[in-house]
Chain A
């Protein structure tokens, strides 16, 4: 289960969050934990360099993409390596939507499209589509393959 996907800006303010199977009262903890994690570790990290953390049996993979930082939290089959796959799909899709590394402005400009893209990548806590073209097509309400 992918427990959470979270986008934050460089100041640690949350831009997008998607929780799956996380009780409401725990979300606040996760939010602050992740933001703190990012604040402590993401300084000077290269774009898309993956960082890892774990808390008991829950794994966290996070990275920086332009002005935004991306956090993915998972457990069970979504271990650090699977999350690395997930975050790779997410970052490449976001880059695809924004056309380049997103600044905060750009990210917010494309906010709606990014939400739809995320919706295609993660479907109820499971990774769904990984192919960039396929995601793009689905966001445009086209079938996954052209015919």
Chain B
């Protein structure tokens, strides 16, 4: 008591601080909006609190109180910057006080009020807002007179309600509150006292804001600390409160019963971080529960609240209730057996809320230790037990907890040897499916489906779907069930039937929460179903008859068609749907019909949930037209908020992860979003989706996936003001400037995406290309080159076409990105793509081609700039890098030729120079885009051997030469070891990609995708990935044997790095000359047919002339290829070459050659070479050319070749004309091959298949 009085005295000094607080309310209130404080202020000023004059307060404090409301009005607009979240430092608080003091003085001098408070005040003159300090003082004063009725009324009607408006309570009030608690008799006053004590206890004190809400109040503790007089802080009063409350909570006096309950409740608001208070609480709670459990439960649980019950019993159950409620709020201590013991007892409590809390505690315990919980529950679950009674308990949440508990136990592995117990809990769960409350029924369904929290795995989900579609509800014959008449007549029925019926009726509900929840259940159902299909549960035949007695038949069909469960399901599903609703597919179909109609719901959130459900229920094999049109028409509705749309996009993403087969479908859906609501969707989210789908589409779907993504670029530009085309999917809806800009951004994203991923999608990488830079294709003119490129890799060619168009007809930003994208593709692709882009970039820089191209494509009306495309400055560095690469390649070729002709070995300085050029170019290239440094050869494939030699000689590990942080990760040296194992290069590649993804941070919009990539490692110019990709290599049986032998020998080394060659064992000279002749690209003529371990590729015409590199000679000069051809033909200079494979003469005009044989090339026509043997043979002449699609299925690989066009060719004096060659044992197909306008003369075989 002495302590109390001291505090009471100290609390007098709080008035200054209270004033500070007051000013803060007004400032913060002004953030809410003016009228907010008006109304709440209304409440505060609802009735002026007439402070009784008879109180002991001095006149000085009264004047202070009167001054405070006015004084604080002025700083209102000064401190409007104060926000809720602002930290109130002590210094700030001090300033505030100082400011207030000044304001008081100012207010005295200038009584003019310009702010809203004063306006308000003038309107309602008689209503003065009551300041917090006034309230506080009133409490202090009334506390001392709390025995008087008038004081009590004051407190109940004016003071406490107003105090409740503020969101925290000054700890300085505690002494008065405690005094009230001890002296006052009035129940309502006491209730308020407990309420406020709880608020003070729960106040974390950090921000002066607690969970209470209301008008923000200052940080009392901070204010107390700066107060020199030493105000009351929370730390001072909390022990007092706890002391008082815990005393009250243990009072067994019957009269005190109600207060005891509230005291315990208030005590639980203390922060759980306080160990002392926690231990006190545990002590009290367990003390009460022990006492309650001492007395055997006499009364059977009956209708609660019946008057005149056993008083003792009711008091006990009240105590049990409040103790369990308190226990529920305390941190769960799973190690304490008393918790479980008391909670299990609580299930039998007469108090329904106590039962609910018990079940909640138990179900939480069950997730940790199901076995113990199941044992503890023992007989309660049996028919007639307390758990069965809970099914009929009125409390919804209690039943929800019961469902969770039953699910946890029935799924527990640790209870496997007690199937009886499990099935008992399971049967309770099934009974809850019949629960009248949707909340309980849906919870039971979700539990069935295997969704209990978010950690469940695919297996759980799949098993959930299996359970739902297979199991039968049999109601136990219990006395409790006999109450329900309908249940008696119920025959056992399939769960799925029950669930479907329930959901159907829920979808007819008018309540939006019910619709929303039902759609959510559908979504979860779809997830489980997808999981089941993903795991390939064999007998998941949805066409199976729902009727259990016919399942034998359907099982038969399951077994029969187990290899194609989807196919048969679809077939039977379709046929059965017509027959009736007996099959699961039929039931699902009719349910989905109802779900679709729910899209008509007014609430956009319900619709979103329905669409998510539909996306999840969409089966990869069914037509998705309906879903597509639903989404398209939905997106036309402007009310959709952006967050919701992005949420749906993420659902697409999740759906894809569950069923990668659906990549194309989902991309098409995503496309609708991109075209319909470009302004609302997050380009990052969309890119993420594109990326995953592209990666997930697999080798065969990559092309389609890329098409689906870039179709955005093909759309006509938005027509301003055109609102009519809304229903069309292919029309861009960007009627307002904002969405037009967003669409622009989206197109940029798509262009970037295309540039970054075209090579991946097309599986075309320079460092594993089948074609060396510049082959015979170079001899064709530009158009031919495009055609050839198109036939070689339609995916990449298509992507290039799109990018080229964007570089012309897009907006400025799009053009820039398109040019960058093109450069990326150029650097990463082999020939002829690089050259094609190179030429295009030139044209772009000069603007020459623009006039001719821009007519062909739709322009968005933008002025393309006076100087061509206006991209010249930007493109210059890009062209320069390509220039440098090409000229360096030319130099290298010359060097090689010189060495070869002179039969010289390479000197160390020469190699060094070469190596330095290689590194320099690599550095340059890395500036533009990522390439795997270990594999990338800017000087072309021929350089690889020389560089290898130099490295080996000088013991340069790759890392030494690498200063690119992306690669200098310490593992790169693995690749340049003389004989790296395949696995090592694997690791390297992954890490490279990861390192790259991490380092590629300069394009913000790209980050998310990259993050994703880091996880998936898929953008991977992944070398070993190509095992399943790409068109293939193959040759005639004639050479099969020789080839096979050499291949087998070399395969290991060759696979591993793509740069080490068996010939490196030999002299430098030979290896170089073989490189020189063979160009080190895999062809029939090469001694190393699988150098790049690319199982599928298309073969360019074999090439034996070094002269072809002349075409690189001066790319800047812009020679047309035709003219170069003429140069070749007219120049009588002798050229030399090496045969790349054994060739048996097929006729008089052919030469038999052996591998490596040196030849003199006389001339060539359209890629036909007329050669002379250096050592004369029969006639010294040989011509070789073939157009071959080869090595399909070699080494049992899979090879797929599509869309190859050979147009306009002259074949003369060769063994074979056109040929498609496959290997036995392989798989794959060749389709869409067209040979046109091929003139053949003097051939042995015109066409070989």
Please list the residues of chain A having a beta carbon within 8 angstroms of any beta carbon in chain B: 6, 9, 11-20, 22, 24-25, 27-28, 41, 50-56, 59, 61, 77, 79-85, 104, 108-109, 111-113, 115-116, 119, 123-124, 126-131, 133-134, 138-147
Contacts and interface: CB of A to CB of B under 8 A. Distances in A.
Contacts of B397: 77, 82, 85, 127
B848 interface: no
Closest CB pairs A-B (n = 6): A112-B161, A17-B213, A13-B36, A81-B439, A80-B513, A141-B187
A67 B269 CA distance: 32
Interface of B: 32-33, 35-36, 39-40, 42-43, 46, 83-85, 156-157, 160-162, 164-165, 187-188, 190-192, 194-195, 198, 207, 209, 211-214, 257-259, 261-262, 265, 268-269, 304-305, 307-311, 314-315, 317-318, 321, 325, 328-329, 351, 353, 395-397, 400, 437-439, 442, 511-517, 520, 603, 605-606, 608-609, 643, 647
Contacts of B603: 41, 51-53
Given A13-B35, A17-B213, A141-B191, A84 B511 contact: yes
Contacts of B32: 13-14
Contact of B513 (A14, A16, A50, A104): A50
Contacts of A141: 187-188, 190-191, 194, 258-259, 262
Nearest to A54: B605
B511 A50 contact: yes
Nearest to B643: A55
Given A138-B262, A144-B321, 12 more contacts: A18-B211, A52-B516, A108-B40, A112-B161, A113-B161, A115-B161, A124-B268, A140-B187, A143-B318, A144-B353, A145-B351, A146-B314
A76 to B, nearest CB: 9
Contacts of A81: 437-439, 442, 513-514, 517
A112 B400 CA distance: 32
Contacts of B265: 123
Contacts, number: 177
B164 A139 contact: no
Contacts of A123: 265, 268, 325, 329
A104 B265 CA distance: 30
Given A81-B517, A144-B351, A115 B195 contact: yes
Interface centre among A22, A80, A127, A146 (most CB of B within 10 A): A80
Nearest to A124: B329
A54 B161 contact: no
Contacts of B351: 144-145
Given A28-B85, A52-B603, A13 B39 contact: yes
Given A52-B605, A112-B161, A141-B190, A80 B517 contact: yes
A111 B161 contact: yes
Nearest to A60: B605
Contact of B160 (A52, A112, A126): A112
A140 B262 CA distance: 10
Contact of B85 (A16, A24, A119): A24
A51 to B, nearest CB: 6
A25 B608 CA distance: 28
A145 B511 contact: no
Contacts of B156: 112
A126 B318 contact: no
B513 A18 contact: no
19 contacts: A6-B213, A13-B32, A13-B39, A14-B36, A15-B40, A16-B213, A18-B212, A19-B211, A28-B85, A41-B603, A56-B647, A81-B514, A85-B439, A119-B198, A127-B397, A134-B305, A144-B353, A146-B314, A147-B308
A45 B268 CA distance: 39
Contacts of A17: 213-214
Nearest to B38: A13
A27 B84 contact: yes
B1223 to A, nearest CB: 53
A123 B265 CA distance: 9
A131 B304 CA distance: 11
B305 A146 contact: yes
A29 to B, nearest CB: 11
A52 B606 contact: yes
B318 A140 contact: no
A27 B198 CA distance: 21
A143 B643 contact: no
B231 to A, nearest CB: 23
A145 B192 contact: no
Contacts of A15: 39-40
Contacts of A41: 603
Interface centre among B43, B162, B207 (most CB of A within 10 A): B43
Contacts of B192: 112, 116
A27 B328 CA distance: 25
Contacts of A24: 84-85, 207, 209
B1043 to A, nearest CB: 59
Contacts of B310: 147
A44 to B, nearest CB: 11
A41 B603 CA distance: 9
B396 A82 contact: yes
B164 A129 contact: no
